[in-house]
Amino acid sequence: MNVLVVFYSRRGETEKLALAAGVGAIQARANIRLRRLTDLADAETIRRDPVWSENLERMKKDYIAPREVDGQWANVLILAAPADCMAEMEGYLEGSRATLHGKSAAVLGGFADLAARAGLTVVPGSATDRDRAVAYGRLAASGK
């Protein structure tokens, strides 16, 4: 099972949830790829938020942005984004509709409707803490 974890995070909190779900996928013996969506905000806005800037510096090293081949490679997606900044995820789902259509996805962040609109089958469940995210990722990667 190939699991693509796509997330958007500014201050590292959603990143932690995405990583926990990714660990759950590994526990289910899946292969995983981790991808972070690129910020739509301009550099000045990011610079004014030191926590965002600091985390972004690190995350830019740790993750590349999702590519079309990643979507093609994946059997299952794990999607995570903060509820109050959905534009990056919305843009990704809209732009990847053709590649992702028909695949299943675990959704962390209350945007199941967006995922469904992009043609993804949403795995029932949710998680707002690490342990639940691990369990949700494991469930999604088990293909059940």
Partner 1 sequence: MITIRKSQERGHFDHGWLNTHHTFSFGGYSDPAHMNFRALRVLNDDRVAPGRGFGAHGHRDMEIFTYVLEGGLAHNDSMGERHVLRPNMIQAMSAGNGVIHSEFNASQTEPVHLLQVWITPAVEDVPPRYQQFAYDPAEKQGRLRLLVGPDLNPPEPAAFIHQDARAYASVLAPGKTIEQPIARGRYAWVQCAQGNIILNGHALAEGDGAAISQERALEIAGDGATGGEFLLVDLA
Rule CB under 8 A: which residues touch partner 1?
19-20, 22-27, 29, 31-32, 34, 58, 61-64
Least Å distance, CB 106 to partner 1, is 15
Least Å distance, CB 138 to partner 1, is 9
Answer yes or no: are the C-beta atoms of 81 and 89 closer than 8 Å. Answer: yes
Nearer to partner 1, 27 or 126 (CB): 27
Least Å distance, CB 1 to partner 1, is 13
**Which of 53, 29, 38, 37 lies closest to 5, judged by CA?**
37
Least Å distance, CB 2 to partner 1, is 12
Answer yes or no: are the C-beta atoms of 123 and 139 closer than 8 Å. Answer: yes
Nearer to partner 1, 57 or 84 (CB): 57
